[in-house]
Amino acid sequence: MEEVTLVTFDPAPASPAFLSDFFRLAAEKRISMDMITATATEGGNISLSCTIMDHEPTDILAVNSALKGKYPALRAASNAGNAKIVLNGDMKDSYGVMDRVISLFAEKQVEINLITTSEDEISILISGSSLGKVIPSLKERFAID
């Protein structure tokens, strides 16, 4: 998936009330988010990141503006022009898959902006301009058609 914007809100309160406000406002603006991550709580705050389509950044920044009155320290930073790579498969009891993936990015000197995982999926966000550097090698390394 190309044309993805990474948006990070920091410092964001590590409270369910903030998260509820954030996701309610995003839903009201009909913003489709993916790759939602939050850091561990530090000093009562988190760093909250998500990906959206490149055509939606003004909508997500409007969410930030709407929250500023209640959460004045909240800042949003965005990084557009990214691409999401998704590797699927049963990885629950497979050891070393992440190493094989990350080592490829290291070999190709491609910076990783965000990683999310589950038992059967690894999603990696990179600059869209780097996509051509890794796709052929990923296909070869993991026998993907």
- Both tokens of 106, joined, read 């290291």
> Which of 3.40.50.300, 3.30.70.260, 3.40.50.12780, 3.40.605.10 would CATH assign to domain 2-80?
3.30.70.260
Q: Which of 131, 33, 19, 35 is nearest to 71 (CA)?
A: 19
Please report, for the chain, the start and end positions of each structural domain, with discontinuous segments joined by +: 2-80, 82-141
Q: What is the pTM of this model?
A: 0.88
Per-residue pLDDT of the chain (145 residues; tens, 9 = 90+): 678 999 999 999 999 999 999 999 999 999 999 999 999 999 999 999 999 988 877 888 899 999 999 999 999 999 999 999 998 887 777 788 889 999 999 999 999 999 999 888 999 999 999 999 999 999 898 888 7
The CATH classification of domain 82-141, taken from the options 2.115.10.20, 3.30.70.260, 3.30.70.270, 2.40.50.1070: 3.30.70.260
How far is the C-alpha of 98 from the C-alpha of 105, rounded, in Å? 11
CB 62 within 8 A of CB 75: no
Q: Do domains 2-80 and 82-141 have the same CATH topology?
A: yes
